[in-house]
A and B are shown apart, each in its own frame.
Chain A
């Protein structure tokens, strides 16, 4: 069984975002970029399925600029067998990403696609659902447990109000939630080995998908700051202020 894992290069989760003063976007210059944390979880799940003998091949894919090679090398160090970089320097929206992935799904013929439920930069939470709709494969989003048996995968999903379990016929698309697993750190020997693993590069233009954005970003601004608060000295003081000043209780 072959698993395709799309991984996105994003601003590291521990870096504070700064909005450019001219409103044109978020300043990413010289900041630490990492693999989207949800994609690490998706990849970890795929690698575990391989280690359990369920999967034979794990292919990591990223769409983005040449620097996304680093993200793919991290994926290879975590245990992906091969990697594909679809090169573009232009912004790609989730629909374009899903369309590009659909082309790769056709070419690579995986049995399962496991991806992140959302990228922590744009927070769109769309791509897996779009890919599933485009290729006509069953979908299970926000997965916290995945069990593969023969031609079916059983997925527990984190939904409002609790947990839902679905059974999907393979091939299928799954998106990973936070509690699916805890991703491993790549060991130094694996980082070294990853340098020799195959990383194919394809120009996005060769895949025949129109990447023209459909959403126009007019402005990016910092959120309104809250008015500075105050420190209260005691519980009694707090209760008093909530009652008489804030009047919320």
Chain B
């Protein structure tokens, strides 16, 4: 039996997290089909067809699917689920929103946020904000998975040309959930979830102005994405989708620079698998130093401008 991966996109481009979900799916050892559901999303389907390892692309086009709402998507996936053993998506806010519905409608459990594929039925996943790793075996006939994207490589694109098949879809009932709008966070620079370098600021920044004045030049110098602790987001220094942690984004960059972040377990949950971690904090006992490869005990208002200067 094959594996179905739900593509995430904005009707124009595929989200790179989907390429990582495809890698996880490859480890299951079965042929992979990818479902592209949206409105006017043919460009995405073509992009999906070029992912190596994808055997077939299913495309569903329609107004009900335009905004990625969970209810029609869940219904669509269930309607095509029959030939698949595994159904997977990246554990992004999109994937987390949709797949538990599919699991519930199929009467199976979802294995959330898998960080490793041990076999086609056994997976590892972090629990307790990464404080423990659980190895679980799914016993249902169908297996629904969300994939902790940063834990997997991106599947290659470009060479392949999988066939594209159209799937018809009409929701069974009129929509009782309506899309009103989306407000995009003003994002400059690379995407936080996939950036090679992340510069993250905490409560110590003290204001939105300081956050911008200290972190933006450093991030620009390094070509880095900017992240934040919950305290910084709650205080309004940074937009919500910059939050790194148990309940924010999980990142796994080559370099993570934590600036004035104490290192609460909920924050560590989102970044402790970075290849190299740098921490700058004035408190030598801050928990962040426990995971840092390089710790600098210093006042950020002096050290960060100095660092930016040294790197430019």
Known: A95-B109, A123-B112, A223-B126. A16 touches B131 (CB 8 A): yes
A91 CB, nearest partner CB in chain B, Å: 12
Known: A229-B289, A249-B222. A217 touches B111 (CB 8 A): no
Docked Cα-Cα span, A16 to B298, in Å, equals 27
Check B109–A232 contact: CB distance below 8 A.
no
B92 CB, nearest partner CB in chain A, Å: 5
Docked Cα-Cα span, A170 to B122, in Å, equals 39
Check B240–A179 contact: CB distance below 8 A.
yes
| Interface members, chain B 276-299 (any A CB < 8 Å) | 276-278, 289, 291-298
Docked Cα-Cα span, A80 to B254, in Å, equals 47
Check B295–A229 contact: CB distance below 8 A.
yes
Interface flags for B52-86 (1: CB within 8 Å of A; 0: not) read: 00000000000000000111001000000000000
Check A166–B180 contact: CB distance below 8 A.
yes
Known: A95-B103, A160-B93, A223-B131. A144 touches B295 (CB 8 A): no
B297 CB, nearest partner CB in chain A, Å: 7
Report if A72 contacts B (CB, 8 A). no
Report if A239 contacts B (CB, 8 A). yes
Report if A188 contacts B (CB, 8 A). no
Report if A140 contacts B (CB, 8 A). yes
Check B94–A160 contact: CB distance below 8 A.
yes
Contacts of A184 in B (CB 8 A): none
Check A161–B134 contact: CB distance below 8 A.
no
Q: How many A residues face the partner with a CB closer than 8 A? A: 80
Interface flags for B296-309 (1: CB within 8 Å of A; 0: not) read: 11100001001100
Interface flags for A207-249 (1: CB within 8 Å of B; 0: not) read: 0000001111111111100110111101110110110001011
| Interface members, chain A 56-112 (any B CB < 8 Å) | 93-95, 98
Q: Which of A1-9, A46-54, A128-136, A197-205 contacts B (4 or more CB under 8 A)?
A: A128-136
Check A123–B129 contact: CB distance below 8 A.
yes
Contacts of A169 in B (CB 8 A): 176-177
A132: nearest chain-B partner, CB-CB: B101
Q: Which of A94, A164, A165, A235 is close to B307, meaning CB atoms less than 8 Å apart? A: A235
Contacts of A183 in B (CB 8 A): none
Docked Cα-Cα span, A177 to B247, in Å, equals 8
